[in-house]
Amino acid sequence: MPSETMMRLRTTINGEDIELDIEPRELLIDVLRHRLELTGAKRSCDSQVCGACTVLLDGQPVSSCCTLAYEADGRTVLTVEGLAQDGHLDLIQAAFVEQAAIQCGFCTPGFVLTTKAMLAENPRPTRDEIKHYLGGNLCRCTGYWNILDAAEDAARRLAAAAETGS
Amino acid sequence: MLRPFAIHQPMTVSEATSLMRDYGDAAAFYAGGTELLIVLKEHLAVVDHLIDLKRIPGLDEISLQDDGASLKIGALATHRAIERSVLVQRRLPVLAALEAKVANVRVRAAGTLGGNLCFADPHSDPATLLSALGATLTLDNGTAQRNVRADAFTTDLMTTDREPDEVLTHITVPLPGANVGTGYERIKLHERPTVSAAAVITVADNLIAAARLYLGCIGDAPQRLRDVEDVLVGLPALVTSGERVKPLIASLALTYDTPFESARYKRQLASAVGVRAIAAAVANAVHPQGSRHAV
C-alpha cells in the first residue's frame, strides 16, 4: 500500500477560487458533490458513456466521474450551478425551459453544459452538428427532440444576444 | 471508490521511465485515464503509483516533419486536439475525420492517441488506420529510442510490443502522395466500433497500382489482407472495383465467436465495411477534393 500523500488543489470553480487538500484518488465528481455541495453533476454510468456528470474543464466537456480531482489544479471548472447570474437563468438554460427539454431533469445539467461548450466552438451549428456533439449525452426519458430544439433555440438566442450586444 | 495510490508528475521522459523502474508492477503510466480509470474502478488492476505523463513538455505536439512528407503526432495529443488540428485536417483529413468520431466528446477531450494505442483494445479506431498508412511508433526508455511499425505494435489481445519501462513518445505518419487515396469505414453499434476497415490505394493510369487493406476490431489486432491487396492491384480504379473482393474479404477475415457476435456475422460485416473503405480510398485517390470520409 502506498503512502498516500495529500495534494493541495487550487482551482477556480464557477468563478470562485478554491483551495482544498485532496487525496490523489479522489474523483472530481466527489469533490464537487460531497465537499462543495455542488450536486448538479450526476453520477450515473460511471464510465464516460452517459454524460450526466459532465462539467467543463477549461471550457472542454469532461466526465467528472472519470476525472481525478487533482487534474483541475490551476484550471477552471464550470458546473451547472455557475450558469445563472443574479438569479437569472443563462440563455441555454432559458432555451431548455422554453422548449420543455426537461423531463425528470437528471441528464439536464450535462446536456446544458455540453451545449455551452458546443456553442463556444460553433455558435451556429446545424441540426446534424448538434446531434453529433450531443451524441454522448443520454436522456433516459428519451426526450431527445425537445433537447435538440433547445440547442437550436439556444444558438438563436446567442446570435440575437450578440446582435444587441447584450 | 478507487483504492489509494500516489501520483507522480515527472517533467521528462527519463524521469518517468526511472520512476517506472523504481516501482515496477505497482506502477502504471497515466495519460487521459479514459481506459485506466475504468480498470481501476472495477478493481481489475491494483496500482499504487500513477505516473502522470501530461506535464512532460512537448509530448502533445502535432507538427509536420522537416521534409514535409510526414506528420509527427505526440502520443499525449488528445483525440480532440487531433480532430481540431488544422494541420491534420489539411494534410491527413482521413485521420481528423476518424478522430472526430471516436467515442464521445468527453472521451475525446481527455483520451490520448498514445493511450489508445498502448491500451490496444481491439474495438478501437486509430490503430487500424495508422497500420494501413504505414505509421511508425517511437518508444523511449529514457536512454534509447526505438521505432515499431504500427501494424506490429499490438502483439496479442490488449498486449503490445512496448516494454513496461518504455514511454510511447510519438507517432510518425507518412502523408499519402498525390495519387494515393485513403479510406476508413466502420460500423458502430455501441460506444466502440464493432468492425472497421482502412484502405490505402495508389492509382496510376486509371488502374489500382498498389493497395493496403486492414480490418480492425474483429480479431486481437488490426489484420492485413495481403491476398485481397494482390487481387485489387491491376483492377480499374473505380469505386465499384472493391465489390470483386467482397467474398474474399469475408473468407479471409480472421475472427471468432463472442457472446454477442458470431464469427459469421463479423465476417459478413467486415466484407461490407472493407468494400466501402476501398471505394472511399479509390474516390479519394481519383478526386481528392470530392472524397468522402464517412466513418
Integer Cα distance of B130 and B118 in angstroms: 13
A-B CB pairs within 8 A amount to 74
Task: State ipTM.
Answer: 0.96
Provide the Cα torsion B35, B39, B41, B46; round to 10°: -130
CB contact under 8 A, B105 and A136: yes
Q: Which residues from B are below 8 Å from A67, CB to CB?
A: 33, 110
Q: Are A94 and A103 in contact (CB under 8 A)?
A: no
Integer Cα distance of B169 and B7 in angstroms: 20
Best of A25, A62, A111 to substitute, by most chain B Cβ atoms within 10 angstroms, is A25
Secondary structure of residue B255 in the 3-state scheme: coil
pLDDT at position B282 is 98
Beta bridge partners of A163: none
Q: Around Cβ B103, how many Cβ atoms within 10 Å? A: 21
- Work out the angle between the directed axes of helices A144-164 and A108-121 (0-180°, nearest 10): 40
Integer Cα distance of B103 and B115 in angstroms: 14
CB contact under 8 A, B26 and A54: no
Q: Which residues from A are below 8 Å from B191, CB to CB?
A: 49
Residue closest to A157 by CA, chosen among A110, A100, A99, A85: A99
Flag whether pLDDT at B144 surpasses 60.
yes
CB contact under 8 A, A24 and B50: yes
CB contact under 8 A, A3 and B6: yes
Beta bridge partners of B62: B73
Q: Tell me the pLDDT tens digit for each residue of A20-52.
A: 999 999 999 999 999 999 999 999 999 999 999
Mean pLDDT of chain A: 96
**What is the DSSP track for A32-80?**
IIIIS----S--SSSSSSS-TTEEEETTEEEEGGGSBGGGGTTSEEE-G
Flag whether pLDDT at B246 surpasses 80.
yes
Residue environment code for A123-141, b if the CB has 16+ CB neighbours within 10 A, otherwise e: eebeeeebebbbebbbbee
Beta bridge partners of A138: none
Rounded average pLDDT over B177-191: 93
Which contacts of B174-180 are long-range, i.e. CB under 8 A and separated by 24 or more positions?
A: B174/B69, B174/B70, B174/B133, B174/B134, B174/B135, B175/B68, B175/B69, B175/B70, B175/B71, B175/B91, B175/B92, B176/B92, B176/B133, B176/B200, B177/B202, B178/B288, B179/B203, B179/B204, B179/B209, B179/B285, B180/B285
Flag whether pLDDT at A1 surpasses 70.
no
Residues in chain A: 166
Rounded average pLDDT over B211-216: 98
Q: Which residues from B are below 8 Å from A60, CB to CB?
A: 80, 109
From the list B4, B48, B191, the residue facing A49 with the nearest CB is B191
Identify the band that residue B95 occupies on the pLDDT scale cut at 50, 70 and 90. Answer: very high
Flag whether pLDDT at B160 surpasses 60.
yes
Q: What are phi and psi of B160, to 5 degrees?
A: -125, 175
Q: Which residues from A are below 8 Å from B105, CB to CB?
A: 61, 114, 117, 133, 136
pLDDT at position B289 is 58
Rounded average pLDDT over B25-49: 96
pLDDT at position B189 is 85
Flag whether pLDDT at A3 surpasses 60.
no
From the list B5, B103, B109, the residue facing A60 with the nearest CB is B109
Rounded average pLDDT over A117-130: 98
Flag whether pLDDT at B290 surpasses 60.
no
Q: Which residues from A are below 8 Å from B103, CB to CB?
A: 48, 136
Read off the pTM.
0.95
CB contact under 8 A, B104 and A51: yes
Residues 6+ apart with CB under 8 A from B42: none
pLDDT at position B292 is 45
Identify the band that residue B288 occupies on the pLDDT scale cut at 50, 70 and 90. Answer: confident
A56, closest residue in chain B (CA to CA): B106
Flag whether pLDDT at A68 surpasses 50.
yes
Flag whether pLDDT at B295 surpasses 80.
no
Identify the band that residue B1 occupies on the pLDDT scale cut at 50, 70 and 90. Answer: confident
B6, closest residue in chain A (CA to CA): A4
Per-residue cell: B170: 510519438
Q: Tell me the pLDDT tens digit for each residue of B223-235.
A: 999 999 999 999 9
CB contact under 8 A, A66 and B38: yes
Q: Which residues from B are below 8 Å from A3, CB to CB?
A: 6
pLDDT at position B79 is 98
Rounded average pLDDT over B242-271: 95
Flag whether pLDDT at A141 surpasses 90.
yes
Per-residue cell: A82: 455557475
B8, closest residue in chain A (CA to CA): A24
Identify the band that residue A164 occupies on the pLDDT scale cut at 50, 70 and 90. Answer: confident
Q: Are B201 and B211 in contact (CB under 8 A)?
A: yes
Rounded average pLDDT over A8-25: 97
Per-residue cell: B112: 490520448
Q: Which residues from A are below 8 Å from B5, CB to CB?
A: 2, 4, 24-25
Identify the band that residue A4 occupies on the pLDDT scale cut at 50, 70 and 90. Answer: low
% of chain A beyond a pLDDT of 70:
97
pLDDT at position A166 is 60
